[in-house]
Amino acid sequence: MSSLAAASTTALSDIDPPTFADIEAAAERLKGKARLTPILESTLLNEKLGGRLLIKAEVLQRSGSFKFRGAYNRIALIPPAERQRGVVAYSSGNHAQGVAYAARLFGIKAWIVMPADAPKIKIANTRAYGAEVVTYDRYNENREAIGERLTKEKGATIVRPFDDPGLIAGQGTIGLETAAQLKQMDATADAFIAPCSGGGLIAGCALALEAKSPQTKAYAAEPAGFEDLKLSLEAGRRLENPPGARSFCDALLSPWPGEITFKVHKRLLGGSFAVTDTQVQHAMATAFEYFKIVVEPGGACGLAAVMTGQLPIKGRTVVVVCSGGNVDPATFAAALAAQ
């Protein structure tokens, strides 16, 4: 199926990933809406690492993370009459804020299902953008079931957090932008890495890089205990995380890779790396020290994979997406204090 707008009513297994043309179309829709986020570089850190590290700073995106891109693009694809009935989303926080802010720009209602233990800043911002927040217990309740019930009750359209070609195309604009920025810098990237939960971000970026920077290999990074993509890539099929794992990377706790996204992962990714909470804390502190940016735990996983040497950088150029900056002050202060 090629229709991006039909994703909410068709079985996920029957939906094809977006094409590069879909990503280019998403970039046109996002002009004047999403920010062109900068690529940051530190001479001192490059000297320490023995390579060239480039940070795609999506912490500076509207709503504080890359999620705004996909949310806006997906909502734009809803037929106007249906769009006026509003949207429903489920999220630990960044997709919630992205959907809430995008819905506000479209002047429509948004109902967002969020875990009760989500960072307070994410819940507060989602409400501040005008969305109605419905909380749930992430360990004992099913957010998808709650979201589907709300969708039927409200007559709204579901906007999934990753397994939707419209979402994936929107997130892929990061890869498109990165390729253009590298060209302007007269630079060639050997590797590109982004944090991964359900995998919409890295799937979209991998598709964009395949078209615009084919020499750049795409990778993912996940919290230890939630490395379902790593295990799935090794097995060649989608696997679920074992129960009981915990991580402070609240944005990256999806139990398995998406159905649509994994079709891209299998074909284009060079692998995925698992990083511990301690390693992520170090990456958060590194981003603050060398790039002067605040990165939330989930947003720092890609940087952690580079800093631990899992993704080699010596003698190479590596682009890392720091995907979000929505972190509670106490969590960020603890990461800095741990160094």
Supply the residues annotated as catalytic.
Answer: 67, 323
Closest CA to 213 of 242, 235, 237, 182: 182
Please give the Cα distance from 29 to 310 (Å, whole number). 36
Closest CA to 12 of 160, 207, 199: 160
Full 3-state SS string of 21-80: HHHHHHHHHHCCCCCCCCEECCHHHHHHHCCEEEEEEHHHCHHHECHHHHHHHHHHCCCH
Q: Which residue type sits at 220?
A: A
Q: Which residue type sits at 34?
A: A
Name every residue whose Cβ is closer than 8 Å to that of residue 55 and which is 6 or more positions away in sequence: 39, 40, 41, 287, 291, 293, 303, 319, 320, 322
* Separation of first and last alpha carbons in the chain: 49
At residue 170, the 3 state secondary structure works out as helix
Name every residue whose Cβ is closer than 8 Å to that of residue 116 and which is 6 or more positions away in sequence: 135, 136, 137, 138
Q: Parallel, antiparallel, or unpaired: how do β-strands 217-223 and 132-136 relate?
A: unpaired
Count of C-beta atoms within a 10 Å radius of residue 271: 18
Q: Which helix (H) or strand (E) holds 157?
A: strand 157-158
Which tokens in the block code for residue 184? Answer: 């302007």
Strand partners, 50: none
Please give the Cα distance from 151 to 263 (Å, whole number). 27
Helix axes 165-184, 20-30, angle to 10 degrees: 80
